[in-house]
Amino acid sequence: MNQLQASCRISECKKNHALHYCNICENKNSDHLPRNCPHGIEVFHGTAVQNIPSILENGLQPSTNGTLGRGIYFAKGIEALQISVHRGDGSGFAVFKCKVNPKYCKTSVHPQWQGVTNSEFQEWCLQDCSKYAFVGLFLIQSIVKGVMVVGLMQML
């Protein structure tokens, strides 16, 4: 007897499954993709361009020595850009735009990072490292597969 499998409620989902789990809000039968979760906030993670392949393959890795303890650190866009410039060391700048559920984050106002940021800034430390979704990737003055990217480019 053939039974029809119920389909996922998300029209843009390409998976062959009946239920879609959102790791941001933990809805087991979600009507949205995690990157579109209404319970999440958009935050940014700055890094060096050479870290992009590893991040795309393995995800963002938690810091073990941040001011808020172990976790993935995020900031607003301008501070994440300033941090990526600092970490890029001339190789180009990359900023991941992510969606996180703030209930899994510790937050604080980080003091000005001397030589990196222009002022103090809000930071989020996501302690449950499975509770984020990539929304975009911004590359600024970067070399990607031998091609120089000048300006701003959003991917993902």
- Say how far apart CA 1 and CA 33 lie, in whole Å: 32
Q: 30-59: per-residue pLDDT in tens?
A: 888 888 999 999 999 988 888 888 999 999
- Say how far apart CA 43 and CA 66 lie, in whole Å: 17
Same domain, 140 and 75: yes
Percent of the chain scoring above 90 in pLDDT: 37
Residues 6+ apart with CB under 8 A from 154: 97, 136, 137, 138
Neighbours of 27 (CB within 10 A): 16
Same domain, 93 and 117: yes
109 pLDDT exceeds 90? yes
Same domain, 85 and 129: yes
Q: What is the CATH number of the domain that holds 94?
A: 3.20.170
Same domain, 134 and 57: yes
Same domain, 77 and 128: yes
4 pLDDT exceeds 50? no
Same domain, 29 and 48: no
| Structural domain of 9 | 1-38
